[in-house]
Amino acid sequence: MRRRTTPIRTIVVRPAKPRNPVMLAVVQRLATFAGRRHAADLHARERLQRMDLDQRVRELGEW
Protein backbone atom coordinates (compact mmCIF):
# COMPACT_ATOMS: atom_id res chain seq x y z
CA MET A 1 0.00 0.00 0.00
CA ARG A 2 1.08 3.48 -0.75
CA ARG A 3 0.66 6.33 1.67
CA ARG A 4 -0.35 9.78 0.63
CA THR A 5 -0.11 12.57 3.14
CA THR A 6 -2.43 15.50 3.44
CA PRO A 7 -2.15 18.38 5.87
CA ILE A 8 -4.82 16.90 8.16
CA ARG A 9 -4.58 13.10 7.94
CA THR A 10 -2.70 10.30 6.29
CA ILE A 11 -4.80 8.46 3.71
CA VAL A 12 -4.03 4.88 2.74
CA VAL A 13 -4.61 4.21 -0.96
CA ARG A 14 -4.95 0.56 -1.96
CA PRO A 15 -3.93 -0.57 -5.43
CA ALA A 16 -6.79 -1.22 -7.85
CA LYS A 17 -8.05 -4.80 -7.94
CA PRO A 18 -8.36 -6.55 -11.27
CA ARG A 19 -11.97 -6.53 -12.48
CA ASN A 20 -13.93 -9.73 -12.91
CA PRO A 21 -15.03 -9.85 -16.59
CA VAL A 22 -18.21 -11.77 -15.75
CA MET A 23 -19.33 -9.15 -13.24
CA LEU A 24 -18.52 -6.34 -15.67
CA ALA A 25 -20.70 -8.03 -18.31
CA VAL A 26 -23.57 -8.42 -15.83
CA VAL A 27 -23.39 -4.79 -14.76
CA GLN A 28 -23.29 -3.58 -18.36
CA ARG A 29 -26.29 -5.75 -19.22
CA LEU A 30 -28.30 -4.40 -16.30
CA ALA A 31 -27.42 -0.82 -17.21
CA THR A 32 -28.49 -1.40 -20.81
CA PHE A 33 -31.78 -2.94 -19.70
CA ALA A 34 -32.52 0.01 -17.42
CA GLY A 35 -31.84 2.46 -20.26
CA ARG A 36 -34.19 0.64 -22.63
CA ARG A 37 -36.92 0.52 -20.03
CA HIS A 38 -36.62 4.24 -19.37
CA ALA A 39 -36.87 4.99 -23.10
CA ALA A 40 -39.97 2.79 -23.43
CA ASP A 41 -41.62 4.55 -20.48
CA LEU A 42 -40.84 7.92 -22.01
CA HIS A 43 -42.40 6.95 -25.35
CA ALA A 44 -45.52 5.60 -23.63
CA ARG A 45 -45.88 8.77 -21.58
CA GLU A 46 -45.58 10.95 -24.70
CA ARG A 47 -48.15 8.81 -26.51
CA LEU A 48 -50.62 9.20 -23.64
CA GLN A 49 -50.12 12.96 -23.56
CA ARG A 50 -51.05 13.23 -27.24
CA MET A 51 -54.38 11.43 -26.66
CA ASP A 52 -57.69 13.02 -25.75
CA LEU A 53 -59.08 12.46 -22.27
CA ASP A 54 -61.60 9.83 -23.36
CA GLN A 55 -58.92 7.95 -25.32
CA ARG A 56 -56.65 7.94 -22.26
CA VAL A 57 -59.46 6.63 -20.06
CA ARG A 58 -60.15 3.81 -22.53
CA GLU A 59 -56.43 3.00 -22.76
CA LEU A 60 -55.82 2.92 -19.02
CA GLY A 61 -59.17 1.53 -17.97
CA GLU A 62 -59.45 4.08 -15.15
CA TRP A 63 -61.87 6.86 -14.48
Domain span holding position 41: 22-63
Residue 54 host element (H or E): helix 53-60
Q: What is the pTM of this model?
A: 0.36
Q: How many structural domains are present in the chain?
A: 1
Taking only the tens place, the pLDDT of each residue in 7-55 is 666 677 777 676 788 888 888 887 777 777 777 788 888 888 888 888 8
Residue 46 counted as domain residue: yes
From residue 40, how far is each of 12, 14, 25, 36 by CA, in Å?
45, 41, 23, 6
Residue 63 counted as domain residue: yes
d(CA 39, CA 51): 19
What pLDDT was estimated at residue 63?
60
Residue 61 counted as domain residue: yes
